[in-house]
Amino acid sequence: MRWKGRRVSANVEDRRGGGGGAKAGGISILGIVVAFVAWKFFGVDPQQAYQATKQVTSHTQSAETSGLDNPTPEQQEAMQFVGTVLGDTEDTWNKVFQEQLNTQYQPPKLVMFSGVVNSGCGTAQSAMGPFYCPADRKVYIDTAFFKDMRQQMGISGEQNQTELTRQDQAGDFAQAYVIAHEVGHHIQTLLGISDQVHKARSQSSQTEGNQLSVRQELQADCLAGIWANHTQQRTQFLEKGDIEEAMDAAHKIGDDYLQKRATGQVVPDSFTHGSSQQRMKWFSLGLNSGNINDCDTFNNAI
């Protein structure tokens, strides 16, 4: 993926100074991975996860500093990479909102943190993985997640010991896809979709609520595909193997793949993000279409 040399978004907040690393509030890296999978893929209520995090971190200092005093080259590159991808999402959605929706796009802020962060949705740890908080309309990401994504989930590409891969290494497009997916949830908030889903889930059974969650997540995958479509048209940033890399990432964060890997069993009624096949399908649809109207996962078969 070619990403260097393009505009870097000014909507990035760096709160990485003073944060935790491999351990946060006494949680081991294994505990972080297990907690992340439980929240992100098995349908644990995010608010419950936040409350649990508050209890764990009640005696720890939150990482709410204004950034790193002496960032390493890798940490500087992390900021550049995240800011460039966020800038690409802004360019894409500014155009889509004007041309397809006849309205003005309002971009989110993206908060980079290390270990622990306070958000409008509560206190969160890197265990949560990247997430979007509709209460403050911000995307939160601990870039150490990208390394965990490779090492713990087996995402394709070379193993890397830095926060982010360099331009000439594999894995960057899969990482960009994760950021674009979270921005997709911001799009859903702007369009009122998130509120509608939240209201419907509060009036539904657990199984029905999970199905609504799956449709919402698959739509965010499709919206990430739209980002890739428009960014490719504008910058020709894709390199050989990038699409396969994103497909591999989508496959390995499917509910069925993760459940089978974690427990040896697959329970479709508990899916909250969609199967591997569904996630690949909807990302591909957005990538090939570039039209937001084709991302209606709520009125079409998924």
**Residues 6+ positions from 241 with CB-CB distance below 8 Å:** 170
Q: Which of 5-9, 21-25, 186-190 has the highest mean pLDDT?
A: 186-190
Per-residue pLDDT tens for 248-262? Answer: 877 777 777 777 778
Among 295, 253, 291, smallest CA distance to 274 is for: 253
Residue 56 has pLDDT above 70, yes or no: no
**Residues 6+ positions from 190 with CB-CB distance below 8 Å:** 105, 106
Cα(120)–Cα(55) distance, integer angstroms: 17
- Residue 189 has a pLDDT of 97
| Other beta carbons within 10 Å of 287 | 23
In the chain, where are the structural domains located?
12-295
Q: Is 110 helix (H, G, I), strand (E, B) or coil?
A: strand
**Residues 6+ positions from 115 with CB-CB distance below 8 Å:** 19, 20, 21, 24, 63, 125, 126, 142
- Residue 152 has a pLDDT of 55
Q: What is the mean pLDDT of residues 178-202?
A: 95
- Residue 240 has a pLDDT of 86
Cα(150)–Cα(161) distance, integer angstroms: 10
Residue 78 has pLDDT above 60, yes or no: yes
Per-residue pLDDT tens for 39-51? Answer: 444 444 444 444 4
Contact in structure between 133 and 140 (CB atoms under 8 Å): yes
Cα(189)–Cα(186) distance, integer angstroms: 5
Residue 58 has pLDDT above 80, yes or no: no
Contact in structure between 248 and 156 (CB atoms under 8 Å): yes
Cα(122)–Cα(128) distance, integer angstroms: 12
- Residue 108 has a pLDDT of 97
Among 147, 184, 169, smallest CA distance to 279 is for: 184
Per-residue pLDDT tens for 84-135? Answer: 999 999 999 999 999 999 999 999 999 999 888 899 998 887 777 789 999 9
Contact in structure between 274 and 302 (CB atoms under 8 Å): yes
Among 114, 112, 95, 113, smallest CA distance to 104 is for: 95
- Residue 36 has a pLDDT of 47
Per-residue pLDDT tens for 265-278? Answer: 788 877 788 888 89
Tokens 């990403």: give the residue. 3
- Residue 151 has a pLDDT of 65
Nearest 5°: CA angle at 106, between 296 and 130? 70
Cα(152)–Cα(197) distance, integer angstroms: 31
Structure tokens at 282: 């909807």
Q: Give the residue with greater pLDDT, 67 vs 70.
A: 70
